[in-house]
């Protein structure tokens, strides 16, 4: 129950699926699909809150801060997933975006439900990561009540860190210890309380938007190309070549040669090409322009 004594939306029964066990396979699939359709609209209602959260994250990143997701169960796993995908996609350090899950690493692959019940463990997890005033902590709890997450957020607020909370339970909003609350209300689940379904999907959409938008604002994207990716496998190496070829108009073999001179750094390779400079100078130009590629090469493109 929430502090107000109301059953959170995520725990209520969905009348549309009250007899789901009597339906045919096709009818069950159609019902789940119809319920999933409400998720994007619910997330869209939180557009202003999501934008405010991104601005907070970007401001803290620029000040040298980090982003921490804190959750339990499905929510915790989604936070760890989003954090783990930022380094290869945007070329950032693994320490910039981190996921904290109740129960630790084992909870990523095996359910440890009781781990979420202790707020002091959430606070201890914040202390263990040495969270400071420059950082942002995002609490993730579909029901809005998870003690581990509340303990982490309360400790983060006392430290002076920025605090954000993502929940699908409107009943919990008034008791959440965060500066910004993102509350996509997706309604009761097809299977009562199974927040790995609509609530999990909504959380994933929100987290995608938070980090992707923040990274765009930080200059990790040029047009819609991930120019700061880390080419750690063949697929990403091929993508790096295609990005350089697309932006410069070079053939793939020449783009590959340019990338080799840039030590695999896509953004630096583009500056080298458009400014006609060696790698060291290209890196200096990027630093002078706040690591933003567009202003770093703007004059060269305009005069071409």
Residues 193-221: tens digit of each pLDDT: 999 999 999 999 999 999 999 999 999 99
Residue ranges making up the domain that contains 260: 234-303
Q: Is the pLDDT of residue 304 over 70?
A: no
Find the mean pLDDT for residues 10-23.
Answer: 94
Residues 87-118: tens digit of each pLDDT: 989 989 999 999 999 998 888 877 776 778 88
3-class SS of residue 37: coil
Structural domain ending residue among the three candidates 217, 250, 269:
217
Find the mean pLDDT for residues 233-240.
Answer: 91
Q: Are 269 and 258 spatial neighbours (Cβ–Cβ below 8 Å)?
A: yes
What is the structure's pLDDT at 303?
55
Q: How many CB atoms lie within 10 A of CB 151?
A: 23
Q: Is the pLDDT of residue 1 over 70?
A: no
pTM score over 0.95: no
CATH number at residue 70: 3.40.50.10490
What confidence tier does 4 reach under pLDDT thresholds 50, 70, 90? Answer: low
DSSP per-residue letters across 140-193: E-TTS--HHHHHHHHHHHHHT-EEEEE-S-GGGGGG---SEEE-----S-SSTT
Q: Are 78 and 141 spatial neighbours (Cβ–Cβ below 8 Å)?
A: no
Q: Is the pLDDT of residue 3 over 60?
A: no
Distance between start and end Cα atoms, the chain: 64
Same domain, 142 and 282: no
Residues 287-299: tens digit of each pLDDT: 999 999 999 998 7
Q: Is the pLDDT of residue 5 over 90?
A: no
Find the mean pLDDT for residues 121-131.
Answer: 97
* Catalytic sites, residue numbers: 85, 116
How far is residue 85 from each of residues 7, 82, 208, 220, measured CA to CA in Å?
Answer: 34, 5, 10, 14
Same domain, 98 and 179: yes
Same domain, 211 and 259: no
Q: Is residue 180 part of a domain?
A: yes
Question: Six-digit token pair at 224?
Answer: 């819609």
What is the structure's pLDDT at 232?
77
Q: Is residue 159 part of a domain?
A: yes
What is the structure's pLDDT at 104?
87
Q: Is residue 222 part of a domain?
A: no
Cα separation, 273 vs 277, whole angstroms: 7
Same domain, 243 and 270: yes
- Is 229 or 184 the better-scoring residue by pLDDT? 184
Same domain, 72 and 183: yes
Q: Treating both helix axes as pointing N-terminal to C-terminal, what angle do 147-159 and 119-128 enclose, rounded to 10 degrees?
A: 50
Q: Is the pLDDT of residue 302 over 60?
A: no
Residues 176-193: tens digit of each pLDDT: 989 999 999 999 999 999
Cα separation, 67 vs 61, whole angstroms: 8
Find the mean pLDDT for residues 156-175.
Answer: 96
CATH number at residue 285: 1.10.8.1080
8-state DSSP, 194 = -
Find the mean pLDDT for residues 28-56.
Answer: 98
Cα separation, 174 vs 3, whole angstroms: 9
Into how many domains does the chain fold? Answer: 2
Question: What is the chain's mean pLDDT, rounded?
Answer: 93
The fraction of the chain above a pLDDT of 90, given in percent, is 84
Q: Is the dihedral of CA 143, 83, 204, 159 positive or negative?
A: positive
Q: How many CB atoms lie within 10 A of CB 239?
A: 16
Structural domain ending residue among the three candidates 186, 217, 248:
217
């Amino acid at each position: 129950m929430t502090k107000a004594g109301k059953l959170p939306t995520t725990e209520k029964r969905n009348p549309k699926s009250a007899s789901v066990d009597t339906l045919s396979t096709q009818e069950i699939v159609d019902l789940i699909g119809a319920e999933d359709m409400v998720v994007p609209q619910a997330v869209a209602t939180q557009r202003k809150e999501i934008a405010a959260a991104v601005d907070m994250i970007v401001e803290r990143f620029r000040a040298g801060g980090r982003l921490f997701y804190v959750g339990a169960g499905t929510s915790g796993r989604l936070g760890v997933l989003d954090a783990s995908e930022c380094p290869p996609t945007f070329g950032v350090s693994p320490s910039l975006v981190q996921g904290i899950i109740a129960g630790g690493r084992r909870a990523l692959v095996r359910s440890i439900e009781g781990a979420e019940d202790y707020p002091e463990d959430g606070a201890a997890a914040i202390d263990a990561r040495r969270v400071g005033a420059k950082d942002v902590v995002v609490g993730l709890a579909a029901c809005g009540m998870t003690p581990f997450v509340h303990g982490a957020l309360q400790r983060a607020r006392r430290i002076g860190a920025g605090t954000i909370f993502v929940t699908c339970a409107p009943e919990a909003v008034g008791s959440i210890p965060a500066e910004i609350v993102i509350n996509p209300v997706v309604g009761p689940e097809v299977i009562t309380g199974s927040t790995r379904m609509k609530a999990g999907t909504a959380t994933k959409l929100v987290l995608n938007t938070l980090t992707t938008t923040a990274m765009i604002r930080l200059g990790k994207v040029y047009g819609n190309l991930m120019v700061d990716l880390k080419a750690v496998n063949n697929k990403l190496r091929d993508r790096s070549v295609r990005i350089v070829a697309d932006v410069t108009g070079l053939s793939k073999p020449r783009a590959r040669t340019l990338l080799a001179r840039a030590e695999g750094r896509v953004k630096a390779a583009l500056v080298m090409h458009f400014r006609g400079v060696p790698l060291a100078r290209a890196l200096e130009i990027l630093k002078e322009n706040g690591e933003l590629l567009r202003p770093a090469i703007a004059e060269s493109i305009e005069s071409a």
